[in-house]
Amino acid sequence: MSWDVLILNAPPDVVSTGEFPKDFSSNLGSRNHVLGEISAILPDLDVNTPGWGFLNRGEYYIEIDFGDDDPVSSVALHIRGSENSISAIKTICEHTGWSAFDLTTGGFIQFDRDPAAGYRKWKAARDEYEKKLVEK
């Protein structure tokens, strides 16, 4: 079970997907461009598996799914471990101008507010699920 975040090229003033213009289309760029951008800012990213990147920083682990499309419309981050993983998400967004959409909260991560809110909500749900498994 992972905390999942999508990287999108969203308009800067949009806080939720309900605010997207009707003609909205996220375009991060070509596969080579997206892979190059993320690899440049996360030099410890393992990109030896086609379509995937793996970032293992001990206290957290992120699987990055670049998808099959070219151009790339979004990148999925599957995160396990500590909330310190937010630093990698923030690095991607700050260096590219892209946005991080938290699938747990259904909103964009606001790095100047409480960026760990979705992580904590996901972790509480995961912990409750694991607790129920143990009780069975």
What is the per-residue pLDDT across 68-95, written as a single tens digit (0 to 9) for each?
999 999 999 999 999 999 999 999 999 9
In terms of DSSP H, where are the helices of the chain? 31-41, 86-96, 117-135
- What's the pLDDT at 119? 93
Asked if the 3-135 domain carries CATH number 3.30.70, the reply is: no
- What's the pLDDT at 91? 97
- What's the pLDDT at 11? 79
**Alpha-carbon distance 45 to 107, whole Å?**
26
In 3-state terms, what secondary structure has residue 74? coil
Please report which helix (H) or strand (E) contains residue 5, including its range. Answer: strand 3-8
Which tokens belong to 56? Answer: 């293992």
- What's the pLDDT at 1? 81
Domain assignments of the chain as residue spans, ordered by start? 3-135
Low-confidence stretches of the chain (pLDDT < 70) are: 136
Which tokens belong to 13? Answer: 């003033």
